[in-house]
Amino acid sequence: MIMNNIKQLRRQARLSQLELAQLCGVHQTAISQWENGKTNPDMETLMLLSGIFNASIDTILGLDVPNAATLVPLKAYLEDDSIEFVDESDICEYIPYIPEYGKKEDYFGLKISDNSLSPTFIEGDTLIIRTNCEISDNDIALVGNKERSFLSRVKIFTDGIFFMGEKPEDDVIYFANDKLKKSHVNITGRVVQLIREL
């Protein structure tokens, strides 16, 4: 059996097998055979896939060891707009993901268990969170304090930072730069990938 990352890359691109088949000019059966390791695409199709997925041919074929798909732990669940973390010893589900940078330990999964953040995130979505990274303007970050953790869009200004929810009724929280350092608010990481089952 030939191992490759086509299925994972297709899901990350939020494409169905049929949509990918249409982009590649092949039958959907070919996509299924590639994903099941029965065959590999020819070189011309690999170059096309490389452009679609913005990935190297080695990554597509699973030959690029540093960037090969790895399993990241599903460490948290969001329900009723609140995030619950799983104890490390109780982690029993892992998500295949191809890290862009950093160590695989810098990534974990967060499962959306309801529609409290709809339409941005819906029940069944899995978010890949990267920790130990810089947060940029307009990122969706995992933010927390002693009482709770939550997802928030981040708006960065020269004198401070705004945390804004995805829904109009959500509170907007502002911290001046000097106040943020003294507060108990911690930015755990940022959302780097949304995985939605089609």
Report in angstroms the alpha-carbon separations of 116 from 84, 171, 190: 14, 15, 19
CB atoms closer than 10 angstroms to residue 143: 22
Nearest by Cα to 161 from 152, 173, 151, 145: 173
pLDDT at res. 177 = 81
Rounded to an integer, what distance in angstroms lies between the CA atom of residue 174 and that of residue 164?
9
Beta bridge partners of 186: 144
Burial 31-55 (b: 16+ CB within 10 A, else e): bebbbeeeeebeeebbebbbeebeb
pLDDT at res. 1 = 39
Rounded to an integer, what distance in angstroms lies between the CA atom of residue 159 and that of residue 69?
39
Angle of helix 17-24 versus helix 28-35 axis, rounded to 10: 110
Burial class (CB in 10 A: 0-12, 13-18, 19+), 147: exposed
pLDDT at res. 22 = 95
Helices marked H in 94-186: 177-182
Running DSSP on this structure, what letter comes out for residue 102? S
pLDDT at res. 16 = 92
Sole residue written with tokens 């930072």:
161
Q: What residue ranges define each of the domains in the chain, with the CATH number in brackets?
A: 6-66 (1.10.260.40), 70-195 (2.10.109.10)
The tens-digit pLDDT sequence of the chain (198 residues) is 355 788 888 888 889 999 999 999 999 999 999 888 888 898 889 889 988 988 878 778 776 544 445 778 888 888 777 788 888 777 878 887 766 666 777 888 889 888 888 778 888 898 988 888 888 888 998 888 767 788 888 998 888 888 887 777 777 888 888 887 777 778 888 998 888 876
